[in-house]
Chain A
């Protein structure tokens, strides 16, 4: 479905990513874990097109999309839930959701998708007319995920969905992501909260200092003693 091949990227001269290769397979939940500053978010920016790599290829559904701008990638079905959520604070919750359906594939079915997003997150139906900037962290995350879903995506790319929200809501958000994946959506997720992320994943990659250092099915990654020590702080 989505593949990175030998990606090298960075910001203004500093190289952040070195030779990154990974694949998000269709219908699966793939997670990318690793400590702060490992380059996880940068990897997602290469995927959604906000950062152009200096080397390597991004392949989506068999097509090389390395040179395609971010807005066209979104229109092709790569929906992003970016780091820090990046909602439009002055638009209402529903205004944010509706904008998610901007591209033709989303617009055609906007009303139905909106109803299904409200079914997934009933809380948002009550908060529909509240400006996004006034929502709680958890509600904002729901809007961000809902907004990404509004485009009727082929793949949902999530950057740290557990960041900055109440612990009680974290497991709820993960449950919903799992629910979406069971509904057939391909998911690629970056998380610092590695333990919970791996529990809902089909495959995992571990990043460290701009490289992929390990990969494998989640139970194998969870078993690795050194990984536990390094990333999960589980003695």
Chain B
């Protein structure tokens, strides 16, 4: 019994730590989808690119994943803005709002982008690669707390807090929120909708790629280009829907929920992470039935 309690507490702590990093990768999607109204099917591929960014910074610069976060974030910002001007600008220019047709355009164009990225990645990187970084662990009672996961969790929550501050406390951030609600009305405020959409999408990609760097700490078998996109994109969508699209702290609530269900759940499911992940995804059904606006009000 004491053994089980120790196991349970360990999984509880690990679940919360994992939840934080899942939250931050989903947060990137939350911004792109909930705020900029772009359905980014290539989300998983940008998480993967963020992870590779961290890998190359480690390989050539000796950076640990935490140090590569700001660099990945900067690259993500540029990539996101490039994506907006390359793929979406012509479709969205002059539109009064993101109608269904425009959302479908984003869906199809990001799906195409996802295929391109994943196939190039698989042809370049045939084997999973990993980052060797183990800052150790602290023993808290019966529970070992890995410092790597702890640091990553702190940075993840800080990133979410930063985006929330930006969106609620600055003129540009509020303009992005207003853009989501009524595009012509933002123009009447003197807000250039092109700038606001580009910054919003850039910010989403920025967080996504930074999240990819943070995720590497949780990839013990290394970065596998055949798996990252397929696994983490759907989880991100589930987290965003759980927390409520467009709600910044919804990402954290959804991420912690999924992290806990996966880690604590596998304890009761014979140690099967796959089964626990399936259960985590299934939580979508009751949420969509009873609280379609997400856990957060």
Please give the distance in Å from B188's CB to the nearest CB on chain A.
5
Closest to B182 in A: A86
- Whether, in the assembled complex, B190 has its beta carbon less than 8 Å from a beta carbon of chain A, the answer is yes
Closest to B178 in A: A88
Q: Judge whether A82 and B190 touch: CB under 8 Å.
A: no
Interface of B is mostly: helix
Q: Judge whether B177 and A102 touch: CB under 8 Å.
A: no
- A102–B186 CA distance with the chains assembled, in angstroms: 10
- A151–B175 CA distance with the chains assembled, in angstroms: 14
Give the size of the chain B interface in residues (CB under 8 angstroms). Answer: 17
Give residues of chain A (53-104) contacting chain B, Cβ–Cβ below 8 Å.
69-72, 74-75, 79-80, 82, 86-91, 95, 98-103
A89 to chain B: which residues have CB within 8 Å? 181
Closest to A90 in B: B181
Q: Judge whether A74 and B188 touch: CB under 8 Å.
A: yes
Residue of A70, A79, A147 most packed against chain B (CB within 10 A): A70
Q: Judge whether A70 and B184 touch: CB under 8 Å.
A: yes
- Whether, in the assembled complex, B119 has its beta carbon less than 8 Å from a beta carbon of chain A, the answer is no
- Whether, in the assembled complex, A50 has its beta carbon less than 8 Å from a beta carbon of chain B, the answer is yes
Give the size of the chain A interface in residues (CB under 8 angstroms). Answer: 29
- Whether, in the assembled complex, A49 has its beta carbon less than 8 Å from a beta carbon of chain B, the answer is yes
- A91–B191 CA distance with the chains assembled, in angstroms: 16
- Whether, in the assembled complex, B171 has its beta carbon less than 8 Å from a beta carbon of chain A, the answer is yes
- Whether, in the assembled complex, B130 has its beta carbon less than 8 Å from a beta carbon of chain A, the answer is no
Please give the distance in Å from A37's CB to the nearest CB on chain B.
20
Number of A-B contacts (CB under 8 A): 70
- A98–B170 CA distance with the chains assembled, in angstroms: 10
Partner of B177, one of A70, A80, A88: A88
Q: Judge whether B177 and A91 touch: CB under 8 Å.
A: yes
Give residues of chain B (147-197) contacting chain A, Cβ–Cβ below 8 Å.
171, 174-175, 177-178, 181-182, 184-193
B177 to chain A: which residues have CB within 8 Å? 88, 90-91
Q: Judge whether A86 and B174 touch: CB under 8 Å.
A: no
A70-B184, A70-B187 known; A99-B178 Cβ under 8 A: yes
- Whether, in the assembled complex, A192 has its beta carbon less than 8 Å from a beta carbon of chain B, the answer is no
Chain B interface (Cβ within 8 Å of chain A)?
171, 174-175, 177-178, 181-182, 184-193
Kindly list the 10 A-B residue pairs having the minimum CB-CB distance in the complex, ordered from nearest. Answer: A103-B190, A74-B190, A70-B187, A86-B185, A75-B190, A80-B188, A71-B187, A88-B181, A88-B178, A71-B192
**Contacts A/B (CB < 8 Å), 12 sampled:** A49-B187, A50-B187, A50-B188, A75-B190, A82-B188, A86-B182, A88-B178, A98-B171, A99-B175, A102-B190, A103-B190, A107-B171
